[in-house]
Structure 1
């Protein structure tokens, strides 16, 4: 799902640092965060190793976990929740973009996945 009014990037433009279990804020070339807004059960099945998990419903009370100076990449399963999250984040002053195709596209692109059982991590 995409929207012409919501900034988005393809999977290929998401920094490779998120393929590794690294600190959430990267340093090069600028601070960046990958925020996964899916539900807990989806997260447990599989997610990007360097992502920060904040379910969409929990985003407003957890804004203090985000950096206003960071480029924020928002991801969900396919894009619906990311659109809502990016709209909200931009309305409160963050620079955010949705990741087109979400975690389905992430898995299709062969990007790293981890989960409760890293050997069996999956999105679909």
Structure 2
């Protein structure tokens, strides 16, 4: 599977999250704590195989990382095991540039670095 074989959507095309749609954030814990999309599911890339049961197999899964490298690998893996998965183009950097909502875990305003 090449890069061009991975279904990709821009951040402004990610549908509303719900029972049939999951936004999976595969960044590391420190990145997540600084800022993430409200309602996203956080599973660091390396943990996905061990935590796969947390991802609804019937949902469309939109995968995001900081800029796109890690999400590409996650989408490839999820597609190989039968998930309908999409890479979010530009990752959380693009999410922030588009002015989409962010929440953080600390006292500072949420921000993607």
TM-score class, shorter-chain normalisation, is over 0.9
Task: Give deviations 1:36-58, integer Å, cap 9, x for gaps.
Answer: 00000000000001100000000
Residue from 51, 54, 62 that aligns with 2:51:
62
In 1, the alpha carbon distance for the partners of 2:107 and 2:59 equals 28
How far residue 117 of structure 1 moved from its aligned partner, in angstroms, is 2.7
Output the aligned Cα RMSD: 1.2
Task: Give deviations 1:63-114, integer Å, cap 9, x for gaps.
Answer: 1011111000000000000000000000111000000000000000000000
Runs (4+) of structure 1 exceeding 4 A deviation are: none
Q: Does 1:14 align with 2:9?
A: no
Please, which runs of 5 or more residues in structure 1 have no aligned partner?
18-25
**Judging changes above 3 Å, is the alpha-carbon distance between structure 1 residues 89 and 118 closer, same or farther for their aligned structure 2 residues?**
farther
Tell me, what secondary structure is at the counterpart of 1:63?
Answer: helix
Give the match for residue 121 of structure 1.
110
Please, which runs of 5 or more residues in structure 2 have no aligned partner?
none
